[in-house]
Amino acid sequence: MKPHCTALAVACVMALTAPADARATSAASLTIYRSDNASLYASSGDGSVDDGYAVVREQRALKLAAGTQDVILGDLPIHIDPEAIALGFPDGGARIVSQRLSLAQGASGALTGLVGHAVHVLGSNGESLADGTLVRAGDGLLVKGVLGTTLVRHYAAVRSGDGSFPTGSSLDLRVDATRNASVEAALSYPTAGLGWRAAYVATLQPGTACRMQFESRASIANRSGRDWNDAQLTLIAGEPNMAKPSAPRPMMAMARGFSAKAEAMPQQDSLGDYRSFTLPGAVNLPDGSISQVPLYAPRTLDCVRTTLLENGNAFQPQQPNLNRDSYEGSGAIVSTLKLKAFDSLPAGYLRVLTADRRGVPQFVGEGRIDDTPKGSDATISLGTPFDLRAQRTRTSFHVDKEGRTLDEAFRIELSNAGDSPRTVTVREHPSRWRQWKLVSSSSKPATQTADTLEFQVEVPANGKATLTYAVRYSWTADQQSQ
């Protein structure tokens, strides 16, 4: 049977009132918290994302009549914390009797934002089924018109009366007003689908000294199910605790209106235990986009390049480890880059470029920078050097339980297949017990601490180099391993 459209007229025994007009009177102000969720920043994937955290503040203008009435605030994001919505009337002209959040879910999710707006509901043949204000979008459409309220269960299309098509959830209010008036309502709420993180780019400069051109940006993701136009943004760096599991969790282009001039940079400030960055101008954040804005003006920084071979870590056992097979083998040689934070660097990812023989910048590695206070060091791993190899071998092992000592020695062989000599930092962690001493080594350690031995080994071009060292552990009778 061919589907047909049915419209059911509903008697107005419910005394439904037309929802009051609740349009935004100014651009929203957003405080966006850092989020590293990959789905927020993915270039693929459709729809909203229930991750990230932002607090939205906006003004809504309401035309109210004296007495109690129903008001619908539409065009809200999809993932809102219902328990944290705050709405107030600064002039005291009205009060909230009750509120209910209608979530944008299921097949009617796209229509939720039109609640409170004028709509034209059309059938499969283009015939008009209902005209008026959309009161509800759920199991059918409830439309209040001049001749009454109509429930439309089967329809082909819905046309917005004013040409706009807001999306997201809506807030249904029962309001008690003291007089007939247009009033301003202050609305704030947390939402998911918005997050930010830092995006850094370092371009290494030619020459033997390590110097880089350093660019700092904020990547702002919007997967909230709503567009934000001319929004005032504050970005929060740090990790506030989010206690409720159900609460929101914390196209690439430069955002309109920004330049890299120093005077156009965000204003940085402290916010409790965190850092805030307030952007100097309004930003458009279309739904399903990742926008970038500058954090700091580009600058040239000194850096340190290290080729590192690290074996073990700073872990210390509860008693001397006398197992011969522990701590054998070699880790991989990695190339690292270290820089000193010229100011507060929020957590994010650093992409490193270097010019090839033709002067074309090429990608050579990427790593994460954690929250780094001003003056502190940030180190990332760029990758594994192609021409360098390492082989680590235990050359001796002897335990004297009566004397409560353990002697152990290693040989580390390094090879360099490249046309240039390389300096490899060999970092060893004597981890069998906290009391140890260096007995011998083929070269003097550059650094020696309670849990680390560090050697600088020169490896010639197309050549090899060998490092040997021996340590002795000792312990007392009450520390003796069983």
What pLDDT digit, counting tens, does each position of 443-469 carry?
999 999 999 999 999 999 999 999 999
HEC letters along 171-215: EEEEEEECCCEEEEEEEEEEECCEEEEEEEEEEECCCCCCEEEEE
Structural domain of 472:
312-336+384-479
| pLDDT at residue 253 in the model | 35
Of 125 and 285, the structure prediction assigns the larger pLDDT to 285
Q: Tell me, yes or no, whether 443 lies in a domain.
A: yes
The answer, yes or no, to whether residue 392 has pLDDT greater than 90, is yes
The answer, yes or no, to whether residue 258 has pLDDT greater than 50, is no
Helix (H, G, I), strand (E, B) or coil at 218: strand
Q: Tell me, yes or no, whether 434 lies in a domain.
A: yes
| pLDDT at residue 82 in the model | 83
- Provide the residue type at 292 as one letter: Q
Q: What confidence category does residue 58 fall into, taking pLDDT thresholds of 50, 70 and 90?
A: very high
DSSP codes of every residue in 33-86: EB---HHHH-SS--S--S--EEEEEEEEEEEE-SEEEEEEEEEE-SSB-GGG-E
Q: Which residue has the tokens 């039109």?
A: 114
Angle of CA points 16, 22, 25, to nearest 5°: 170
User: Which residues are CB-neighbours of 24 under 8 A, at least 6 positions away?
Assistant: 58, 59, 60, 61, 75
Name which of 8-12, 100-104, 330-334 the model is least confident about: 8-12
In Å, how far are 63, 115, 232, 239 from 228, measured between CA atoms? 24, 19, 10, 24
Q: What is the mean pLDDT of residues 253-266?
A: 49
The answer, yes or no, to whether residue 106 has pLDDT greater than 80, is no
Q: Tell me, yes or no, whether 46 lies in a domain.
A: no
Of 150 and 107, the structure prediction assigns the larger pLDDT to 150
Alpha carbon 43 to its chain centroid, in Å, reads 14
Query: 244-257: string of b/e by CB count within 10 Å (b at 16+)?
Result: eeebbbbeeeebee
What pLDDT digit, counting tens, does each position of 120-178 carry?
999 888 888 889 988 877 778 889 988 889 888 888 888 887 766 666 677 888 999 99
Burial level of 107, CB count in 10 A (0-12/13-18/19+)? exposed
Q: Tell me, yes or no, whether 240 lies in a domain.
A: no
Q: Can you tell me the distance from the alpha carbon of 19 to that of 304, in angstroms, rounded to the nearest whole number?
A: 64
CATH code for position 318: 2.60.40.290
Of 132 and 247, the structure prediction assigns the larger pLDDT to 132
| pLDDT at residue 257 in the model | 36
Q: Tell me, yes or no, whether 285 lies in a domain.
A: no
Of 205 and 226, the structure prediction assigns the larger pLDDT to 205
| pLDDT at residue 170 in the model | 79
Name which of 164-173, 199-208, 315-324, 341-350 the model is least confident about: 164-173
Q: Can you tell me the distance from the alpha carbon of 451 to that of 468, in angstroms, rounded to the nearest whole number?
A: 18
Q: Can you tell me the distance from the alpha carbon of 352 to that of 349, in angstroms, rounded to the nearest whole number?
A: 10
The answer, yes or no, to whether residue 19 has pLDDT greater than 60, is no
| pLDDT at residue 249 in the model | 53
Number of domains composing the chain? 1
The answer, yes or no, to whether residue 30 has pLDDT greater than 70, is yes
| pLDDT at residue 465 in the model | 98
CB-CB contact of 293 with 258 (8 Å): yes
Q: Tell me, yes or no, whether 15 lies in a domain.
A: no
Longest dimension (CA), the chain: 102
Q: Which two tokens stand for residue 272?
A: 């409790």
| pLDDT at residue 15 in the model | 35
Sheet of 94-102, strand order:
67-76, 169-177, 94-102
Reported pTM: 0.74
| pLDDT at residue 112 in the model | 67
Q: Can you tell me the distance from the alpha carbon of 224 to that of 64, in angstroms, rounded to the nearest whole number?
A: 30
Q: Which two tokens stand for residue 154?
A: 């089967």
Q: Tell me, yes or no, whether 351 lies in a domain.
A: no
Q: Tell me, yes or no, whether 327 lies in a domain.
A: yes
DSSP-derived pairing of the beta strands 422-428 and 289-311? parallel
Sheet of 405-416, strand order:
388-400, 405-416, 463-474, 436-441
